[in-house]
Each structure stands twice: as structure tokens, then as C-alpha cells.
Amino acid sequence: MHATDTHIALTEAELESWLRLQQTDGVGLLTAHRLLEQFGSPQAIFEASRAQLLPHLTWPRQADALLGPRPPRLAAQLYATLAWQREPGNRLLAFGHPGYPALLRNIIAAPLLLYVKGRADLLARPALAVVGARNASRQGALNAERMAEALSDAGLTIVSGLALGIDAAAHTGGLKGPGSTVAVVGTGADRIYPARNGALARRIAEEGCLVSEYALGTPPLSGNFPRRNRVISGLSRGVLVVEAAAKSGSLITAGLAAAQGRDVYAVPGSIHATLSKGCHQLIREGAKLVETAADVLHAMQMVSDGQAGARPGYDDSFVDRVLDAMGEDAVQAEVLALHLNQSAAELQGQLLALELAGLLERLPGGMFQRLRG
């Protein structure tokens, strides 16, 4: 039996204001949090005057969007979300409300809403993220599952991203112990991706917890997956990378973990193995080398809060090139990638790092806009 559920569902008016804030054109998470800090709630933001809003905005047109009519899709989304919230095991956690995970609340660009399916109590427990390659080796997947099981047996909740390979193995191992597992997905909470992990996802929803920051119905958009990595690390005391190639998305998660003050652990491998190169890179940059679950547990007890591995960064010339290419108007990542002669997939991780540094903002519709100093 799980702990007594004292959760109070969002009212229709509260939910409408949160959804509306998420959908307001030109207003991203960084601006939304500035407004929430000033006004206290989304409802108060929408009741404020233009003169009250302007000092807390980057651009005057953001005030026009906040004071304008409700987005046309809002009513249908509100109805669908209210119905979803009423289903057994489903709940919405709003930023700053009871039940919103304390660790996650303190990261930069924390989600405004969390769609939670399953055991929300797991979000308040000590957790470790276990991530790695999608095309994992058989040994790597076995290592991830066994280490996750041992860590779960020790009372840690295993957090991962429901991807194929190491993520799936980590979830499977976590489910075998009392710590269980949390899957942070890059789609709406009402969708399963990838389809091959459908049975695993349903089991996690029953025995563990599925979490998403994305609106219901959100498809598997490529830009959402690097972005959800900050939630994986944000829910966790540390991140363990089991296998990763040199440009793996797992390195984004590890970099975000270090930036958030979390510990980073990496499992070494053969110097000839492609899937070991990312882990070796992390170790060179300051991640803690671990070979067993016992190593992780020992390190977590020995390392004080706030210590972490080296934070991967970008030199000033790269930052300047990105901001110069953006100009003053919102731009799609694909267009920016063309200007920078860089792949859109690689640029997504870099844009996320610059977003969390407060240099640019992600807007609804996958647009990015630089922030004024």
C-alpha cells in the first residue's frame, strides 16, 4: 500500500491559468518564473495591468500577448486535461504547490506543470538517475539493470528517460527493488514512446511513476528530449552514466546534472569501445569513476551537497556566434543550425545550456530568442 493520498487537484480556474501561461506566445519558462516570483500565481499575472507587467518582461510584445485573448486551443486542452486529471493514478503538480518535487523546484527553468501518472510519492524520495546509450551493448544493459536493482534495493529511486537500451534496463532493474523507478518522458503523459517500451511504460505507471512536463497529446518532437534531460537530473541527487558514445545525449544529462550541483558518476570500459568514449570523457572532466553499485552508494555518502563533476561549457566565441546569429527576433533551431553550419540535433543541447545560463529563452512552438543583458 502506498502512503495516504492528500493531494488536492487543481481547480478548473487554476489549471486554465497554468495552461494559458505555458501557451502564451513569446513567453518562455525564464520569463514565466520571473512573473511568478513577482505576482505569485498565473491568475495574478493575467489580472495585472500592462504597467505592472512591463518591468518584469524582456520585450513589450510579451505584455501584449499576456493581455491578449486566450489561445484558441486552450478550451479543448483544458477539457482534456481536466478529464485526464480525474483518472485514477493521474495528477498534475503545479510549480510551488504541495507535492511538487523540492529538488526540481530549485533548478533553472523548472517545469511549470508536471503530469504525473502512478506513484507520485516516489518524487519525494532520494533518487539517482541512470542513463546511457540507446544502442547499448548486451553487457552494458546488463550492468545497468544489475546496478539499478542494487541501488533500488538500497532505497534509491531510479530515474531515467524510458529510451531503448540503458534507460529501459535501468527502469527494469529499479522495478525489482523497493526504490522502484521514475520515467521522465519527452512526450505528453498520454503517449508512449518508443512503442517498443509500451509494456515497460505500463508497468512503470502501475508500480512506479511516469512524469512529463509536456501538454497532453504532445508527439515525440526531437527538441523535447534534450530538454527533458534537465528534469531527469533535477529529480535526482546524481547521475550515473553506464555507456555513452562521444556525442551521446547522456552527456547532456551529465552536464546539466553538474550545472545543477548534482554528482556525476561514470562506468569505465574498454579503450577500444565506442560506447565507452563518452564515459571516459566525463571521467576526464571530473566525474567519479564507479564500477559497482557499492561504489555509487559509498560516493553518495562521502560527497557533500553541491559538489559535482566539471561542467561542460562553451567558449565565449561560440556563445557570441550563437547570439549574433539569432539577432533580435525569435528563430527556429533548424534555421539557426543552418546559419551556424551545425547539425540541429547537436545544437539542441547547446541551446539548452545557453537557455539555462539565462542567455536565451525557448518560446512556445520550438522558437528561441536571445535575452537582453
pLDDT value at residue 345: 63
Return the DSSP state at 242.
Answer: -
CA distances from 96 to 57, 214, 233 (A): 21, 18, 19
Q: What is the pLDDT along the chain (373 residues), one digit of tens a residue?
A: 344 455 678 999 999 999 999 999 899 999 999 999 999 999 999 999 999 999 999 889 999 999 999 988 899 999 999 999 999 999 999 999 999 999 999 998 999 999 999 999 999 999 999 999 999 999 999 999 999 999 999 999 999 999 999 999 999 999 999 999 999 999 999 999 999 999 999 999 999 999 999 999 999 998 899 899 999 999 999 999 999 998 888 888 898 898 899 999 999 998 888 999 999 999 999 999 999 999 999 998 733 333 333 333 445 566 778 888 887 778 888 888 888 887 766 677 678 777 767 778 888 777 888 876 5
Q: Which residues pair with 362 in a beta bridge?
A: 368
Question: Number of folded domains in the chain?
Answer: 3
**Do both 206 and 322 map to the same domain?**
no
Calculate the CA dihedral of residues 37, 117, 4, 207 and round it to 10 degrees: -140
Question: What CA–CA distance (Å, rounded) separates 34 from 41?
Answer: 11
Torsion sign, CA atoms 243, 248, 249, 254: positive
CATH of the domain at 164: 3.40.50.450
SS3 265: strand
**Do both 125 and 59 map to the same domain?**
no
Residue 1, domain member (yes or no):
no
Contact assessment for residue 347 and residue 333, using Cβ atoms and an 8 Å cutoff: yes
**Do both 252 and 297 map to the same domain?**
yes
Positions of E strands within the chain? 90-94, 113-118, 127-131, 157-160, 181-184, 209-212, 238-241, 263-266, 288-289, 331-332, 360-363, 367-370
Q: How many CB atoms lie within 10 A of CB 260?
A: 20
**Do both 214 and 282 map to the same domain?**
yes
- Pick from 331, 326, 244: nearest CA to 285: 244
Contact assessment for residue 367 and residue 336, using Cβ atoms and an 8 Å cutoff: no
pLDDT value at residue 367: 80
For residue 337, what are the domain limits?
A: 316-370
Contact assessment for residue 178 and residue 153, using Cβ atoms and an 8 Å cutoff: yes
Residue 42, domain member (yes or no):
yes
- Pick from 263, 264, 294, 268: nearest CA to 279: 268
Residue 294, domain member (yes or no):
yes
Q: Report how far Cα 39 is from the mean position of its chain's Cα atoms.
A: 25
**Do both 202 and 291 map to the same domain?**
yes
**Do both 324 and 263 map to the same domain?**
no
Q: How many residues does the chain have?
A: 373
Q: Is 89 left (phi over 0), alpha (psi -120 to 50) or beta?
A: left
CA distances from 33 to 27, 38, 45, 57, 336 (A): 10, 9, 11, 11, 26
CATH of the domain at 332: 1.10.10.10
**Do both 275 and 357 map to the same domain?**
no
pTM of the model: 0.84
Contact assessment for residue 195 and residue 162, using Cβ atoms and an 8 Å cutoff: no
**Do both 155 and 240 map to the same domain?**
yes
pLDDT value at residue 314: 46
Report residue 211 as a C-alpha cell: 512524469
Instruction: Order across the sheet with 113-118: list the strands.
Output: 90-94, 113-118, 209-212, 181-184, 157-160, 127-131, 238-241, 263-266, 288-289
pLDDT value at residue 246: 87
**Do both 292 and 362 map to the same domain?**
no
**Do both 137 and 17 map to the same domain?**
no
CATH of the domain at 33: 1.10.150
Question: What CA–CA distance (Å, rounded) separates 99 from 82?
Answer: 18
